[in-house]
Each structure stands twice: as C-alpha cells, then as structure tokens.
C-alpha cells in the first residue's frame, strides 16, 4: 500500500447531500490535506434503483461551493480511472470468483420468494434474519449447470463459523465481534453489479486508499470488510469512524423528517464557509477555545486524534451564530454582493441597495430573513402609537410629538442628505432642545418604520428612504399623535 495518505469520498448519487455525508467528505479532505496526501472523489452508483438524474452534478456543485477540491475523480480523471463504479462493473466479478476458489464465497440461487419466507419465519420466531446457507453445499457441477441454464444467482461471502474478528479504529480503538453474528453478505447481485460493501473494498484497494472515513453507524459492518481484505491477503486500511450527528432531542438527522440538507441551508441564506466551519467542529475539537476557522486553516491543524466518540448535536442556533459572525466579518462590498438578490426580493420600491446592505449587515444572521426585515422600507404600515413610549429612551407620546415637530424644519433645511449630515443635524437639535439622544432618535425611527425593532437606526433609515419619504412619514407620525387624543 502507498505510503502517501489517500482518502476518498464515495457518495451515492441519490439527489442531495446529507449533512453527515458532507462532514465525512470534509474530514476525508482535511486528513488528506494535513498529511500532504490526495483526496479522491468516487461515485458509487451500484444501486441502480436509487439513482437520481442530476445528482452527480449536485455532488460536484456542493464540493465546489465548499472549497473541497478533489485531486482525482470522474470529472478530472486520474491514475485509477474510471472513478464511477458502474463504469468499473467488469472489475468486480473476477475478484468474487477468486474468493469462491479460495473458499471464502459461494454461489447462491435462492429466489426472492424463498428468502422472504425465511425472513417471515425468523420474525415469527423472534430471531434476527440470517441467510441459512441453503446453497453453500452445492457441487461445482450443479452450480455450473444452473448458471448455463440461465438461472439468476448472487455471490455471497462465506463468513467464518467460529472465533472473533477484531479491527482497530482510529477513533473507537479495538472493536471485536463474534463471527457467528456475521451474515453471509451478498458480494455480487443478480443484476451483475457488486454490492456497495464489496465494490468499496475492491476499489479502495485498487486505488491505494489508506484511510477510510465514515459514520460510526458502519462500525458493525467493518469486520466484513476486514475479512475480505484478509481473504485476498491485502493490507487493511486505517478506519476512522465518525460520531453520529444528532438533533438536540438526540434523534438522527433525516431528510425524510424534514431536516435540512446542505442545499437547503444554502438556499435559506447560510454561507458555505460558515456551514463548513460549523461542520468541522461537529465531532472534532481544536486544541484551543477558538471556533472560527477558514478551510485553509483547518487544512493545517486538523488531527484524527481530536475526533470525538460522542454524538454531536446539530444546533441550528449555533449555526446561525456562525453565519452571523461570517457576515459581520465581510467587507461592505462583499456583503452587498451576496445580499443583493435578497434585498431585491424584499423591495417593491426603487431605493439604493448599497446603503440598505450597509444598514442591515451587522444585524443579519441568515440572508433569507432580509426581505422580511426590510419590508418597512416599501410602505409605512399602520402601527400602534404605544411603540413611541420607551422607558429606557425616556420617551412618551408628548416627547415624541415635540421631537418630531422640531425635527421637520431641521430636515427640510438639509441640502446634503447623507448619513453624516443627518447625524450632525439631528444631534445638534438634541443639544438645542436639551434632551437625550434617544428622546429624538427613537421617535424619528418609529415614525420612519412603524416597527418596534428595525435593522437600522433613525439616521440610517432616513438616509435610505431619502428626504421626501422621510419627511412624509414623520408628518404622518405627527398627524397620528395629534389626532390620537392622548397628547
């Protein structure tokens, strides 16, 4: 086996990228990079019934968005091409026949009906279903005649009847299982395609894969892989099983239960960099309390020995925090670029988008919330006058009316409608009136938005709305306060 570290990401093209699956890809990539090795992309499409059209493109697109670059794969080729299992179909049967010759595998002609009947009998007796080796004792002559007669068959791995199988996992240590608990798994299916388990072993060996990284739910099937390696006389790769990713209630994340896939998160306005950063910490911890890492930084510091055994909780609130941190760290220009489609989606009036982006950047955690958060810019909706009352700002309806009334001539006189000019004019008015900043700015912000909470302050909102709309909304506020009968 090659001394160079070689890892592989081998997804099945079933339509979407599961969060746990993407984390496996990330860890595989990081293990290869931190050791100066190669990261291989291989498409495992042996289960033809589950294939989804366009799913391979989803895999390519996801890796590209995340910045996870493969060194070999179907789209860029490499020394072990082809990298699509269906294109390697003719490779596997000779290896299965070699196992038959060595006594580690056998032909099985049992029909689906017989296997289903056996399964039902096991269930009725409360036993775990296991194939009963009905075809194990068939003679070479009978096998040959049945194959020549066109009878469908599978090839099964013959598990040892006694003893135990032990393998070492880089995360969980030594794992031992009783061989009697291992079922004679199918290696070659009746359609001639290899099973996922068999093709994995053959391809990993032929492609010199040194580290096999996958979820801990596959720990129980790993002895079967090890027995295959031993049967061929091949070196067993390093196994790295990752802890489960679970929801806060402890249940598994599942697309069928409505849990988000990577594409769902991207479409909802989460940044790929934030998702990758968060996923890296789901099951791995750095040797410091630091949490924000770029992919380039992770490529230098990632280590297998800091992978946890315990399940990791996928917490949407924590992902939101990461996303917000990444958004706040962006330049105003970069944020404007990614926020622009969402700003346009939320606007029904013609307003300058860069000032809006600058206003909302530090108050945005998820991009998809932008349209709702800037809705007040389109039109002034009816609002409860009580939002003018704020104890902390020391405002009430009377103070609000006086402040708004005083603000109108000051704003009317402004010829330069910039944030700087608005800031200077309004704070000069605060000093002239002898009141606190909030006693002017809170009523102005309320009159401009009609909302108790906004993604910007009075000055920012006024700068975005422009002079005419700002004065129009303030006058509406004055009229409503005057006609309320409460001032």
- Annotated catalytic sites, by residue? 255
Q: Encode 433-467: b = buried (16+ Cβ within 10 Å), e = exposed.
A: eebeebbbbbbbbbbbbbbeebbbbbbbbbbbbee
Contact between residue 401 and residue 440 where contact means Cβ atoms under 8 Å apart: no
According to DSSP, the residues that pair with 173 across neighbouring strands are 169
Nearest to 455 by CA among 326, 357, 321: 357
Q: Which DSSP string do the residues of 337-388 spell out, in sequence order? A: HHHHHHHHHH-SS---HHHHHHHHGGG-SSGGGHHHHTGGGT------GGGG
Distance between CA 72 and CA 29 in Å, rounded? Answer: 12
d(C-alpha 209, C-alpha 39), whole Å: 9
Q: How far apart are CA 214 and CA 311, in angstroms?
A: 14
Q: How far is CA 487 from the centre of its chain?
A: 54
Residue 73 pairs in a beta bridge with: 77
From residue 460, alpha-carbon distances to 49, 99, 360, 408, 463 in Å are 56, 74, 10, 17, 5
* Alpha-carbon span 286 to 280, nearest angstrom: 10
Best CA proximity match to 271, nearest among 358, 368, 355, 363? 368
- Under 8 Å between Cβ of 63 and 24: no
Q: For residue 388, which of 470, 461, 443 has the smallest C-alpha distance?
A: 443
Bond prior to 475 in cis (omega within 30° of 0): no
The angle, 0 to 180 degrees and rounded to 10, between the axes of the packed helices 353-360 and 332-346 is 110
């Amino acid at each position: 086996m090659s001394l160079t570290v070689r890892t592989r990401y081998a997804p099945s093209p079933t339509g979407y990228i599961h969060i746990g699956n993407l984390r496996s890809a990330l860890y595989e990539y990081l293990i290869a990079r931190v050791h100066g090795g190669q990261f291989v992309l291989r498409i495992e499409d042996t289960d033809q019934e589950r294939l989804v059209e366009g799913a391979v493109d989803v895999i390519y697109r996801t890796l590209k968005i995340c910045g996870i670059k493969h060194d070999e794969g179907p789209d860029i080729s490499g020394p072990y091409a082809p990298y699509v299992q269906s294109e390697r179909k003719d490779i596997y049967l000779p290896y299965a026949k070699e196992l038959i010759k060595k006594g580690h595998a056998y032909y099985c002609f049992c029909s689906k009906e017989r296997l289903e009947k056996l399964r039902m009998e096991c269930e009725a007796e409360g036993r775990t279903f296991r194939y009963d080796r009905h075809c194990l004792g068939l003679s070479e002559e009978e096998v040959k005649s049945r194959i020549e007669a066109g009878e469908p068959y599978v090839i099964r791995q013959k598990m040892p009847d006694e003893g135990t199988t032990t393998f070492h996992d880089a995360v969980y240590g030594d794992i031992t299982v009783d061989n009697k608990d291992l079922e004679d798994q199918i290696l070659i299916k009746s359609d001639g395609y290899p099973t996922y388990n068999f093709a994995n072993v053959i391809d990993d060996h032929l492609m010199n894969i040194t580290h096999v990284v996958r979820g801990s739910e596959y720990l129980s099937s790993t002895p079967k892989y090890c027995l295959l390696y031993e049967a061929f006389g091949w070196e067993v790769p390093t196994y790295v099983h990752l802890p489960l990713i679970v929801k806060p209630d402890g249940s598994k994340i599942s697309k069928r239960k409505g849990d988000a896939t990577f594409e769902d998160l991207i479409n909802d306005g989460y940044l790929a960099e934030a998702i990758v950063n968060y996923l890296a910490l789901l099951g791995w911890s750095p040797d410091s309390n630091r949490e924000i890492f770029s992919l380039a930084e992770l490529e230098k510091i990632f280590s297998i020995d800091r992978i946890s055994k315990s399940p990791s909780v996928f917490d949407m609130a924590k992902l939101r925090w990461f996303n917000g941190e990444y958004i706040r760290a962006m330049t105003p220009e970069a944020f404007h670029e990614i926020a622009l489609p969402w700003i346009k989606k939320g606007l029904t009036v013609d307003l300058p988008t860069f000032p809006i982006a600058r206003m909302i950047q530090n108050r945005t955690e998820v991009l998809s919330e932008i349209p709702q958060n800037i809705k007040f810019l389109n039109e002034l909706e009816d609002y409860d006058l009580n939002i003018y009352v704020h104890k902390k700002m020391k405002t009430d309806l009377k103070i609000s009316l006086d402040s708004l009334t005083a603000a109108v001539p000051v704003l009317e006189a402004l010829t330069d409608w910039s944030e700087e000019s608005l800031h200077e004019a309004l704070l000069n008015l605060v000093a002239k009136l002898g009141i606190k900043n909030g006693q002017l700015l809170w009523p102005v912000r309320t009159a401009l938005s009609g909302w108790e909470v906004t993604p910007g302050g009075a000055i920012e909102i006024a700068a975005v709305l422009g002079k005419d709309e700002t004065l129009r909304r303030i006058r509406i506020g004055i009229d409503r306060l005057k006609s309320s009968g409460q001032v």
